[in-house]
Structure 1
Amino acid sequence: MASRGEIYSTRSDSERRTYFFNVKENRRGDLFLNIVESSKRDEGESFDRHQIMVYEEDIKGFMEELEKAVAIARKRESLTEAASPRKYKKKTSATHPSPRQKTSGNGEAKATNLQRKKVLKLKKKRDQDT
């Protein structure tokens, strides 16, 4: 469903929300990025819809700050995952390392420096608590 001035459109669906990323052109020929978040209301068929528009001259600065924020969110997410107790220990195989593990030339999984630091930090914290 293309609207007037729409150059590109894509979407990302999750359980609760849908995000739309649209590149549009206004009447004067200026490009802008339109980001829309849509979520279903509890009572049924209606939706909450929020949007922001980032104009062409602001995109570079916007993306720099967005990338910083995403990097921090991902770092915190990975720290939370590492600190949370797991009921079942995931088996790793030397021939099939997890996507986060690096491999040596012979296919063995190696922990990255960041993973080692996280483990040491968690061990130190655990030792302090006991």
Structure 2
Amino acid sequence: MGIRGELFTTQVTLDNRSYFFNVKENRAGDVFLQIVESKKGEGADFDRHQIAIFAEDMQRVLKGLDDSLKFIEKDRKERAKAKAAKKAAKEAKFGKGSGEKIVIKRGKKNFLEEERQPDGIKRTGKVIHIASKRDADKPADDGAN
């Protein structure tokens, strides 16, 4: 037995924190799992948080952990499926495009007033602004309310 009743210990190190899984025995002979999270705090200090799970409660805790992991995996799959369906619906509505804006530059002709042609193109100066497919169904706004 170790100095502080440690029977077994293992460490999992991530980018900014470490987890220690310590199997310990207290003075009464009870075996428990101590989980310690350690992360670097301000300066040279470390923030440490720990929980202890006794052997008689371990199966219920592991079942709760397993249920949580199953939920996370199911939720991840549902979100990926919903994201794919949303993308497919968007492509069906607007067509599959490159997603880039197209800017067409015109000559040096000076426009004092905004011109709107029947083709849906708003001409305001050197750059031609092309109306989106979403705006195509709306009537042209002439500024009068």
TM bucket (normalised to shorter chain) is 0.5 to 0.7
Aligned partner of 1:127 in structure 2 is 88
Q: Identity of paired residues, percent?
A: 42
| TM-score, structure 2 normalization | 0.54
Higher helix share: 1
Any idea what SS the aligned residue of 2:4 has? coil
- Counterpart check, 1:25 vs 2:25: yes
2:45 is the counterpart of 1:46: yes
Cα distance in 2, alignment partners of residues 123 and 15 from structure 1: 31
RMSD (CA atoms): 2.2
Note the C-alpha offset of 1:124.
Answer: 2.8
> When the two structures are aligned, how many residues end up with a matched partner?
90
Kindly report which structure 2 residues correspond to 1:1-130, keeping only aligned pairs within 5 A, or say none: 2-41=2-41, 43-77=42-76, 83=80, 118=81, 121-129=82-90, 130=93
CA distance in 2: counterparts of 1:70 and 1:16, whole angstroms? 22
5+ residue gaps in structure 2?
94-145
Q: Which 5+ residue runs of structure 1 have no aligned equivalent?
A: 84-117
Could you report, residue by residue, the CA deviation over 1:25-75 in whole angstroms, capped at 9, with x for unpaired residues? 01111100000000001x220010000000111100000001111233344
| Structure index of larger Rg | 2
